Homo-oligomer: A and B are copies of this chain.
Amino acid sequence: MRISQLAETTGVPVATIKYYLREGLLPEGERTSATQAQYGDDHVRRIRLVRALVGVGGLSVATARSVLEQLDAEHDSVAEMLGVAQGAVTPTAVDGLDVGRARALVDGWGWTIDPGSHDVLAALEVAISGLEAAGFDLPDGRLDGYAEVMATVAEAEIAGIPVDSVDAAVQYVVLGTVLVEPLLLALRRLAQQDASWRRFGV
A55 shortest CB reach to chain B, Å: 7
B153 near A188: Cβ-Cβ < 8 Å: yes
Contacts of A142 in B (CB 8 A): 156, 160
* A34 interface residue per 8 A CB criterion: no
Which of B123, B134, B154 is close to A53, meaning CB atoms less than 8 Å apart?
B134
B106 near A159: Cβ-Cβ < 8 Å: no
* A60 interface residue per 8 A CB criterion: no
Q: Knowing A86-B189, A117-B190, A149-B149 are in contact, say whether A56-B126 is a contact too (CB < 8 A).
A: yes
Q: Whole-angstrom distance between the alpha carbons of A57 and B79 in the complex?
A: 28
A177 near B156: Cβ-Cβ < 8 Å: no
A150 near B57: Cβ-Cβ < 8 Å: no
* A127 interface residue per 8 A CB criterion: yes
Contacts of A136 in B (CB 8 A): 171-172, 175-176, 179
A187 near B146: Cβ-Cβ < 8 Å: yes
Q: In the complex, which residues 128-168 of chain A have their Cβ closer than 8 Å to any Cβ of chain B? A: 128-131, 133-136, 139, 142-143, 145-147, 149-160
Contacts of A56 in B (CB 8 A): 126-127, 129-131, 133
Contacts of A183 in B (CB 8 A): 124, 127-128, 131, 143, 146
Q: Whole-angstrom distance between the alpha carbons of A78 and B194 in the complex?
A: 12
Q: Whole-angstrom distance between the alpha carbons of A130 and B202 in the complex?
A: 32
* A49 interface residue per 8 A CB criterion: yes
